Structure 1
Amino acid sequence: MKPAPTAPFDVPHWTDAKVHPDHHVQVLRSRYSVPTRYVGSTVRVRADSVCVRIYAGTQLVKVHARVAPGKRSTDPSNYPVGKDIAAERDVAPLIASAKKCGVHVGIYAERLLDVPLPWTRMRLVYALLRLCNKFGNGRVEAICQSALAFDVVDVQCVARMLETAKTPALPPTDERKVVALPAPRFARSTEHFATRTLAAAATKEEA
């Protein structure tokens, strides 16, 4: 018999995940690429602290090293030959849509897609365009300009900045009422501050 293990058992996480058009599945807030033939299908994923194994049925189709949440692991060999050329054509109209929302929104979209595999980041540009629809082109344009000045290229950061800068809603008109405040504790009437000269004059007039 083998000696008893000294390290605790690494409990794996099992889940089903759909392969999106960008060839990636999302598991535990991270994304991993899968070969083209599985795009659109649902695969079985096993993730432990070291690696991620992706199965189609009982067949192991891809293995990735585990990455941190928010990161991605992309294998270029998962894409067909020449896909990079087609992908460039796919992202061109996406950038054009961003430029229609504002000059700096377009620049921000170009920065987001400035990677070796630009189609893997198309979702981020779609998220940026959704922010334009939600908050308006002008506000997103201003935030993108500020973010680019500090070299911050992160759509989630832009979303947080927009949420923080939201103007609080005003109460309905019928709820805006003038409320009379109670008199201060040590308030005195105007007669209390009348001068003696005025008081004497009033006495003479009465006489």
Structure 2
Amino acid sequence: MLRSLYSVPTRYVGSTVRVRADRASVRIYAGTELVKVHARVAPGKRSTDPSDYPMGKDVAAVRDVASLIASAKKCGVHVGVYAERLLAVPLPWTRMRLVYALLRLCKKFGNGRVEAICQSALAFDVVDVQRVARMLETAKPPASPSTDQRTVIALPAPVTARSKPPTHPRGRRR
């Protein structure tokens, strides 16, 4: 029993394959056709060939952090910075799912809204994708003003406004 994971090309997913292994290699056959050869790995490990995955899915297979950050930067400058902050840990691939969640928020709410929320969150040093999602869900969509709302209203001066600087009770300035 191999107890390891080996990738096969996408076109063979769901079909029946046979596996033959020796001490050094693992050969995978579909019918009589040799489909893939992998070097044998220890039990519990995996051998993944990025060319086995469809275009765009190979990023997750090889844990390519740089291309994930580039995808986030396409959504907005602050979204990219937010993704960089999420992945700024010793083992960045452990937090890649958070960046995928951030990219899903961009698809759901639009790049502009997520960009604005990420900018605000970065200003307050809040790096939490679930909080960004809550902020987006509770935020009201921007309303377009009607023609009667476009008037300027003069506000009275605040009560605490002073025209002169305060003086000391004995006549001296502080």
What's the TM-score bracket when you normalise by the shorter of the two chains?
Answer: 0.3 to 0.5
More strand, by proportion: 1
TM score, norm. by length of structure 2: 0.46
